[in-house]
Amino acid sequence: MMTKIGRAYGFFEYHGPENIAGKLEIIKHKVKSPEELNLNLGSVDNRNTKDSALIEITDWVIPQAMNYVLEASLPNSDNRTAAKELGDVLNGICGCFYANIDDFHSRIIYKRGQMYVFRRK
């Protein structure tokens, strides 16, 4: 039997000097994310997908100055739950790297059925 894996993608803007990838495990612990939550940080310019709908979304976020994508995967979960956990991590990134929360811009998407939807805040 194949394990169900929830997936979600968080797009955000960051131009600071600190290394976000080096702090992800600390942030996950701080926001009490499940240990099984896997995070993969990358640039939106380096699209490593054949999913045309996901490519369209990255085409939409690039002009909005969102230069990073954080992919979350969570075994034994659905996509909506993965998106919720990813939201907690993005809030942790905001708290760790931004003095003013209004300066942090992010969007989370996940697949519901055959469509990608934006997670509501």
**Measured between alpha carbons, how far is 71 from 11 in angstroms, rounded to an integer?**
9
**Measured between alpha carbons, how far is 121 from 107 in angstroms, rounded to an integer?**
9
pLDDT digits (tens, 9 = 90+) for 57-107: 777 766 677 888 899 999 999 999 999 999 999 999 999 999 888 889 899
Q: How confident is the model at residue 108 (pLDDT cuts 50, 70, 90)?
A: very high
Q: Tally Cβ neighbours within 10 Å of residue 119.
A: 20
Query: Going by CATH, does the domain composed of 5-118 fall within 2.60.40?
Result: no
**Measured between alpha carbons, how far is 121 from 113 in angstroms, rounded to an integer?**
20
End-to-end CA distance of the chain: 34
Per-residue pLDDT at 114: 86
pLDDT digits (tens, 9 = 90+) for 13-22: 898 888 999 9
The secondary structure of 29-67 as a DSSP string is HHTT--TT-EEEEEETTS-----HHHHHHHHHHGGGT--
pTM, to two decimals: 0.88
